[in-house]
A and B are shown apart, each in its own frame.
Chain A
Amino acid sequence: MPPPSSETILVERPRLLDRRRLRRLLVLLLVLGAVLVLLAPLTATDQADSLGAPQLVDRSQIRILTTVAMFVVMASAWNLVGGLTGYSSFGNVAFFGLGAYTCAVAVDAHRLHLPMAAAIALAPLVPAAFAALVGLPLLRLRGHYFAIATLGTAVAVGEVVKNVDYLGGATGLFPPILHRADLLFLYLMVGAALLAVLVSRLILRSRFGYGLIAIRENEEAAGVIGVNTTMYKVGAFAVAAALTGLAGGLFALWNSFINQELGFSLDFNIQMILMAVLGGAGTLFGPVLGAIVLELLIQNLAGRSDVAVYAQIGLGLLLAVTVIFVPRGIVAFFGGGSRLSVAHLRRSLRETGV
């Protein structure tokens, strides 16, 4: 009788080569597609006109792309706290609003009257400082308590802002309207999106990122290993706040108007979470994919008031289905960024008793 050995339950399956090749192909296609999409709007410029090039995109499409880019920033930012660190914040929109108001106040002729570039540079700083401040007490909470506390904070900040005259009170603020700036804001927002993805990638492959993931997996173990959990959590919170604030600042300038309803919109709040989770929380491209897919969906249904109700219901169902059947998001399906695959989906379906 052979001695009992500590055999593993599962033998690791060798990675199928074509899956990796498939992934590379997909990424290549995505990059090409992205480049095309980004260059296409240039056909809407006067220069392109004078060259006789056909206009491939119109104004409304440029706006949609800009909005998509904005959500890529917000979803990626949320991912740092909710996906990597495992603290599901339901109040990140507070940073969006704070960034928007910071920018609006900065450019306002009757207030700080700073040049646009300076305003944009300031937009991430105020939310980050705020995050560092409230993060210390908030991040002591976990799970549901943390979610509710952050939600409450966001709502509270919005209410405070509404009542401060310097911040425009109930009316809001009106950054100067810039003519023919659609392209400018598209590329600014895309730049912010690239920044968000770059920051995420840097974090994911750093000691900081591993520390955050350790906190998510088991905070107590992370502590005794030597991770300064408080500093790391607050750090992630502040970085997320900075990125979200940047998106908010750009939004305020682009929209030429910001008020409490727009800056602290619960819709935006939920959407950024949905996008990160649907796309794949904790991965690099998950929030990006989620933002693109979901925002395009929302934008396409936006004008159609007849389907508005169904759209809402549909979105809700989508979230429920995602969380139950594909808890790791779209990215998991294609095995990119995470180790999971369709096999895992099959297994998780079996386990949930379907």
Chain B
Amino acid sequence: MTALLSIQGVTKRFGGVAALNEVSFDVGEGEILGVIGPNGAGKTTLLNCVSGVYRPDAGSITFDGHSIAGEPPHRIARLGVGRTFQVVKPFASMTARENAAVGALFGASQLALSRAFAAADEVLEMVGMAGKASLPVASLTIPDRKRLEVARALATRPRLLLLDEVMAGLNPVEVDEALEMVRTVHRSGVTIVLIEHVMRVVVGVCRRVVVLHFGQTLAEGTPDGVLRDARVIEAYLGEKYARRLVGG
């Protein structure tokens, strides 16, 4: 399986602190990769480097054969990388449909305005927001805004979708619904990298997991393997949680 995304020796410093230090791993086409680790481990920084919000100080990032490290965000989006933000950033004065339509206008999609709204309806359907297309953002609940964020990113027709803590603040039922959404998106052919703290999600949907700690890769492997790793338990999971996961 050829790597769709290849991260090699990526380093990013802020002031004197290395938020990322020689991070390397690959993401194969069609995978769902989980990225976990304590806060401050560099997960969002990594996402920002891949999506072009930050320029890495060292290392290389290759997507679909193109070198994207240091490229501006819009060019990376055009190549087929979509992402959501931890704190959602909707276009507040627009409706849900318009938000998604803007995605369809740009990114890798580049649809004409006349076709963008139909495409918007399609992605809204995929994330489970079919009936809410004409609602203004202000009327949407938090889970729905997260769905909208995913829809908008999907509308850009990405080959790789980066999800930043999409499950944060959702209760177990809402997590289940969101999990279904992730599976549906994956089935449509999108490779997914997700940053999560909700382990149930990681175990439920990721084929591989990378653990970041203090800007470095601590462990890498299957969810089961990684979550039993003593170093991961020590640094991130805690004994009680590990027992809960493994036992349940």
Interface residues of A, Cβ cutoff 8 Å to B = 3-4, 6-12, 205-207, 210-211, 213-214, 217-218, 220-230, 282, 339
Contact = CB atoms under 8 A, between A and B. Distances in A.
B173 interface: yes
Given A221-B91, A224-B77, A229-B74, A210 B105 contact: yes
B199 interface: no
A211 B106 contact: yes
Contact of A9 (B108, B141, B143, B156): B141
Interface string B105-129: 1111110110000000000000000
B173 A3 contact: yes
A339 B93 CA distance: 9
Given A7-B141, A12-B135, A213-B94, A220 B72 contact: no
A339 B89 contact: no
Contacts of B73: 223-224, 226
Contacts of A221: 85, 89-91, 152
B160 to A, nearest CB: 12
A6 B141 contact: yes
Interface centre among A6, A12, A214, A222, by most chain B C-beta atoms within 10 angstroms, is: A6
Contacts of B102: 210-211, 214, 222, 225
B139 interface: yes
Given A224-B51, A225-B152, A226-B156, A10 B138 contact: yes
Nearest to A207: B105
Contacts of A227: 74, 106
B144 interface: yes
Dominant secondary structure of chain A at its interface with chain B: loop
A136 to B, nearest CB: 14
Contact of A228 (B74, B109, B152): B74
B53 A8 contact: no
Contact of B74 (A12, A205, A217, A223): A223
A205 B85 CA distance: 27
Contacts of A4: 171, 173
B136 A226 contact: no
Q: Sorted from nearest, which 10 A-B pairs have the closest CB atoms?
A: A226-B106, A226-B77, A226-B107, A217-B91, A223-B73, A221-B89, A10-B139, A218-B89, A228-B74, A6-B143
A245 B184 CA distance: 52
A285 to B, nearest CB: 17
A297 to B, nearest CB: 29
Given A7-B141, A8-B139, A211-B105, A224 B83 contact: yes
Interface of B: 51-53, 72-74, 76-78, 82-83, 85, 89-94, 98, 101-103, 105-110, 112-113, 132, 134-136, 138-141, 143-144, 152-153, 156, 171, 173-174, 177
A214 B141 contact: no
26 contacts: A4-B171, A7-B141, A10-B139, A12-B134, A12-B135, A207-B105, A207-B112, A213-B93, A220-B89, A221-B85, A221-B89, A222-B102, A223-B74, A224-B52, A224-B73, A224-B82, A224-B153, A225-B153, A226-B73, A226-B74, A226-B77, A226-B78, A226-B106, A227-B106, A282-B93, A339-B136
Interface centre among A7, A9, A226, A282, by most chain B C-beta atoms within 10 angstroms, is: A226
B53 A224 contact: yes
Nearest to B88: A221
Nearest to A12: B135
Contacts of B108: 226
B90 A218 contact: yes
Contacts of B107: 225-226
Contacts of B72: 223, 228, 230
A203 to B, nearest CB: 12
Nearest to B129: A6
B112 to A, nearest CB: 8
B161 to A, nearest CB: 11
B144 A8 contact: yes
A344 B200 CA distance: 42
A205 B136 CA distance: 19
Nearest to B144: A6
A331 to B, nearest CB: 14
Contacts of A220: 53, 85, 89
Contacts of B140: 8-9
Nearest to A338: B93
Interface centre among B82, B106, B139, by most chain A C-beta atoms within 10 angstroms, is: B106
Contacts of A282: 93
A162 to B, nearest CB: 39
